[in-house]
Structure 1
């Protein structure tokens, strides 16, 4: 008798675009892991398809929000595992999944801790101390509590959730970006074969917009005088007029828009800049630099969750003058450049190895699924939040659904 099909369903806010966002790369990491473990993988999203979404080879389905048709569809699909790629997807579809597929293991993948990123953004804009306890955090933590497991891409954020929000360790799982093969430095362009500076990051992501603006206005004027004749090329999907206005070809700062192959592009440049002033999670742009043997100049926020602050080959800083000075030094000194490049390779080896993390993730899923009732009995706050008086998202959705139906009938 054949074993029952194990089906994994990703409910995605957007279709995965690994060439546009680090979140898209992260999503495919997880889906590929599940496929290799024997799951039949399905992706469903209410978003419009885009010409840049990945050709995953997995089942793809268009769904709608506030639509009872989802209930019948998901019940027939009967997934073993349901993954929400943002807390808003759990809010919208979680109650429907619980009603139709109560035995499905549910997993929230935050990509980065959205609430932390938002809190840091507000602190930067206001000049006030960091406030972690805001309404978005309440929603995101509630979604975590309602799910069986939450997968975090940052160990720093795992500790924050445990210490500040009292989430138990057994409800959290750390899974970083996964690197299957380390780069061979001998096969990559060296110091003398590269020139100019590069920045890469999608402009739908607020930290990237801020980093580009800050760099253009505060860092680049100083850096130009330190590196005369050197240009900085900024690549990013979904560039708009506000970002294009920062382009100043006369000074060598060029906003170039989307690149089709981030690693091939990055490998041409001598340094990869990631001047982030806020954000959360791991940074795909830094990972791409390490994978292409391109030393990265970043800030403490950029370095967080990627490698310890003393493991970069230079002193991290988020002040314009020191960021500019570090960039100039690494650009001009071959020995300093090699030290920073080797530090990136070591970070890949110690923190992102596929062999170290892939099996542990699948084992965690299977162990939780095998003892699902016991696991859920321990989640008292999740049980409370699933009660009817705490299901505002469900009842708002039902109200919208009824309203829409009424409009169709008139």
Structure 2
């Protein structure tokens, strides 16, 4: 492969999201092979987007429901198109197939959106009897098994769309082995359509400060990501008051990009609850904290904040959802707790006990070494892409379900898009 087109759902922001970090890792890997890379997106240009010119990656602004994309891709003629999340495959997949049918079509899910949505719905269901905000946030993290989650997901439009996009592509990159298992065992997706790829830009800090040099708790995550915002609310209304009862002088710093006014309104120094918003260097802030708190009640994928914590030698307290797919059979680099009382108790114990803290730090390092081998992951991905390219015609013949879905959905999407394009061009009344 020589020419790659990446269609981004948004412009890559590695300082804002783990998804942005992952995208930069993929772009860096592609460029290291000498491949020509164009990154295109229909999203508005963002202030904090990465400067892709440093990687010699061309940026291209594209439009939804516009034939100008057809002209662009016909001129570029990519060997491979990477769709960033299934939304972009829905919007542009049929155009790619129409203009460049020989191009390898690869989907990067980032995390399984339909899994996250199903867990969020289960949380809302558990919270519905709460009479006020405080009562609703006493509810523990979702702890449903995959059979239960399958029944919730299978009845939901989000899962149907996402699974269909996976079938329509030649290969889908999955960041979590747990999600690989769910797709294969519960949804019956063939292994030839999936590849586990947990690439991360991890900078292990071998000179990280020790227990005594650190202070405060840290919670970090993009506020636009719903699981992160829910975690902040759980901290504010339930977990943090319990921690402060036992550690009256403790301080919690809540960091993350794009804090809305409703988040900054939670800032209360008298309660030790500091909403500090975006930080210039997440690793620097993480390295100064003694304990990272990630009370995720729903979500999916791999949690970048927790990988960063381990890379900075910072033990963490999280839920089963937080640690899912990250450590295999290894003990967590900190503590895992599901309900409010257990979470607060774990945070206090880890903050106060230096021996326990150091053990957790060592466990985090082992997870990075065994589960996040970047060179091996990069080599495996390149080999799988080359194999998918070599076996492309054979694999497409085997994937009749994908061909059928492309035929039906792309036809409807095609004609709807043409109608919207005509309406925009000629101002046809709706």
Q: Which residue of 2 aligns with 1:21?
A: 17
Q: Which residue of 1 aligns with 2:175?
A: 153
Partner Cα distance (1:342, 1:200) in 2: 22
SS at match of 1:132: helix
Cα deviation per residue 1:119-158 (whole Å; 9 max; x = unaligned)? 0000100139641111110001111111100000000000
Q: Which residue of 1 aligns with 2:265?
A: 245
Partner Cα distance (1:392, 1:242) in 2: 40
Partner Cα distance (1:402, 1:89) in 2: 21
Q: Which residue of 1 aligns with 2:145?
A: none
Which TM-score applies when normalising by structure 1? 0.95
Cα deviation per residue 1:15-38 (whole Å; 9 max; x = unaligned)? 000110011011111111111122
Partner Cα distance (1:235, 1:179) in 2: 20
Shift of 1:296: 1.0
| Runs (5+) with no aligned partner, structure 1 | none
Cα deviation per residue 1:37-81 (whole Å; 9 max; x = unaligned)? 221111000111111001122110000000001101111011111
Q: Which residue of 1 aligns with 2:94?
A: 95
Q: Are positions 1:136 and 2:132 aligned together? A: no
SS at match of 2:276: strand
Q: Which residue of 2 aligns with 1:70?
A: 69
Q: Which residue of 2 aligns with 1:172?
A: 194
Shift of 1:388: 4.3
Partner Cα distance (1:297, 1:180) in 2: 19
- Describe the shift of the 1:382–1:313 C-alpha distance in structure 2 as closer, same or farther (beyond 3 A): closer
Shift of 1:368: 1.1
Shift of 1:293: 0.8
- Describe the shift of the 1:193–1:314 C-alpha distance in structure 2 as closer, same or farther (beyond 3 A): closer
Shift of 1:177: 2.9
Partner Cα distance (2:44, 2:212) in 1: 44
Partner Cα distance (2:211, 2:329) in 1: 24
Partner Cα distance (1:14, 1:364) in 2: 26
Match of 2:344 among 303, 306, 324: 324
Shift of 1:309: 7.1
Q: Which residue of 1 aligns with 2:105?
A: 106
Shift of 1:317: 1.1
Q: Is the 8 A contact 1:266 1:272 kept in 2?
A: yes
Match of 2:368 among 332, 343, 348: 348
Partner Cα distance (2:333, 2:17) in 1: 27
Shift of 1:183: 3.5
RMSD of aligned Cα (Å): 1.7
Q: Is the 8 A contact 2:254 2:277 kept in 1?
A: yes
Q: Is the 8 A contact 1:309 1:316 kept in 2?
A: no
Partner Cα distance (1:118, 1:276) in 2: 13
- Describe the shift of the 1:375–1:310 C-alpha distance in structure 2 as closer, same or farther (beyond 3 A): closer
Cα deviation per residue 1:156-193 (whole Å; 9 max; x = unaligned)? 00010001111100110000133566432xx1111000
Match of 1:234 among 254, 260, 266: 254
Which TM-score applies when normalising by structure 2? 0.91
Q: How many residues end up aligned between the 2 structures?
A: 403
Cα deviation per residue 1:272-314 (whole Å; 9 max; x = unaligned)? 1111000000000001101111111111110101114761265
Q: Is the 8 A contact 1:236 1:259 kept in 2?
A: yes
Q: Is the 8 A contact 1:197 1:270 kept in 2?
A: yes
Q: Is the 8 A contact 2:310 2:333 kept in 1?
A: no
Q: Are positions 1:276 and 2:272 aligned together? A: no
Shift of 1:404: 1.0
Match of 1:300 among 316, 320, 337: 320
Partner Cα distance (1:219, 1:354) in 2: 35
- Describe the shift of the 1:62–1:201 C-alpha distance in structure 2 as closer, same or farther (beyond 3 A): same
- Describe the shift of the 1:127–1:225 C-alpha distance in structure 2 as closer, same or farther (beyond 3 A): closer
- Describe the shift of the 1:147–1:389 C-alpha distance in structure 2 as closer, same or farther (beyond 3 A): closer
Query: Structure 1 stretch 384-393 or stretch 324-333: which is displaced more?
Result: 384-393
Q: Is the 8 A contact 1:84 1:109 kept in 2?
A: yes
Match of 1:378 among 371, 377, 398: 398
Cα deviation per residue 1:236-264 (whole Å; 9 max; x = unaligned)? 11101221222211111011110111001
